[in-house]
């Protein structure tokens, strides 16, 4: 019913394979893979080569969050690298419908990401193209930021739209939240409507990677907060 997706952004990049193994062994459901280009966002991270390298280690879906502009050229590379889910920011694509179609045509699940100030009208004409909606609860670019409280009302608004769409079409769209998710706010975030939770610094710590022996404790504590 709920999915926890640790963000590798806060992991120890010198031991990335072990970090993937350890969070999955600790009970994570997905691996959240943040791709930043120093253009759409002011930071630079990892690309398809690293996704391909962790693919054989991850016996779980790899959730690729593209913070890049332009979007389309890189989609095929991530499909080839084994991405299971690919999301992108609508402002970063010239042709949103086409970008979504490219992802699904490649066999991956497709989704849009909304920044804190991105309006929801992007959902108006493409619900049938979506497998997932990702709401940012911080401005994208960095781990370890504080959850923006106004995101709770936005989550509830998206939840209502997704529920209406499921009634109408029978198709379920997942609702993922990304940014500042912690043990003390995950319950409220779930009550507002999220079913999938990215957590970077909460799991890996504020530095470059945390204590792997604590990952299972943290993941269990996050899960224990979730309403039945």
| Residues that bind Zn ion in the complex, under the rule CB under 5 A | 34, 65, 178
Q: How far apart are CA 77 and CA 71, in angstroms?
A: 11
Q: How far apart are CA 223 and CA 183, in angstroms?
A: 9
Q: How far apart are CA 20 and CA 8, in angstroms?
A: 8
State the catalytic residue, choosing from 29, 34, 63, 84: 34
x/- track of binding to ligand DX5 for residues 170-209 (CB under 6 A)? --------xxxx----------------xxxxx-------
Any contact of residue 9 with ligand DX5 (CB under 6 A)? Answer: yes
Provide, rounded to whole angstroms, the least separation between the CB of residue 1 and ligand DX5. Answer: 21
Tell me whether residue 31 or residue 96 sits nearer to ligand DX5 (CB atom).
Answer: 31
Dihedral of the alpha carbons of 185, 216, 59, 201, in degrees to the nearest 10: 50
Q: Is there a contact between 93 and 139 (Cβ–Cβ < 8 Å)?
A: no
Judged on CB neighbours under 10 Å (0-12, 13-18, 19+), 41 is buried
Any contact of residue 19 with ligand DX5 (CB under 6 A)? Answer: no
Tell me whether residue 179 or residue 210 sits nearer to ligand DX5 (CB atom).
Answer: 179
Instruction: Enumerate binding residues for ligand DX5 (CB under 6 A).
Output: 7, 9-10, 32, 34, 65, 138, 140-141, 143-145, 178-181, 198-202
């Amino acid at each position: 019913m709920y999915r926890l997706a640790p963000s590798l952004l806060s992991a120890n990049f010198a031991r990335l394979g072990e970090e993937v193994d350890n969070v999955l062994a600790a009970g994570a459901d997905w691996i959240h893979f943040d791709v930043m280009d120093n253009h759409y966002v002011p930071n630079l991270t990892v690309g398809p080569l690293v996704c391909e390298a962790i693919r054989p280690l991850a016996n779980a879906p790899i959730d690729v969050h593209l913070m890049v502009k332009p979007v389309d050229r890189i989609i095929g590379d991530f499909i080839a690298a084994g991405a299971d889910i690919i999301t992108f920011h609508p402002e970063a694509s010239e042709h949103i419908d086409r970008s979504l179609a490219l992802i699904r045509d490649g066999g991956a699940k497709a989704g849009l990401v909304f920044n804190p100030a991105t309006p929801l009208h992007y959902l108006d004409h493409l619900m049938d193209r979506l497998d997932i909606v990702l709401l940012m609860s911080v401005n994208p670019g960095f781990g370890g930021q504080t959850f923006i409280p106004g995101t709770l009302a936005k989550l509830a608004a998206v939840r209502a739209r997704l529920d209406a769409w499921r009634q109408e079409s029978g198709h379920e769209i997942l609702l993922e939240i990304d940014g500042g998710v912690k043990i003390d706010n995950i319950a409220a975030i779930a009550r507002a409507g999220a079913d999938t939770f990215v957590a970077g610094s909460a799991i890996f710590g504020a530095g470059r990677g945390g204590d792997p022996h604590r990952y299972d404790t943290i993941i269990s504590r996050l899960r224990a907060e979730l309403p039945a």
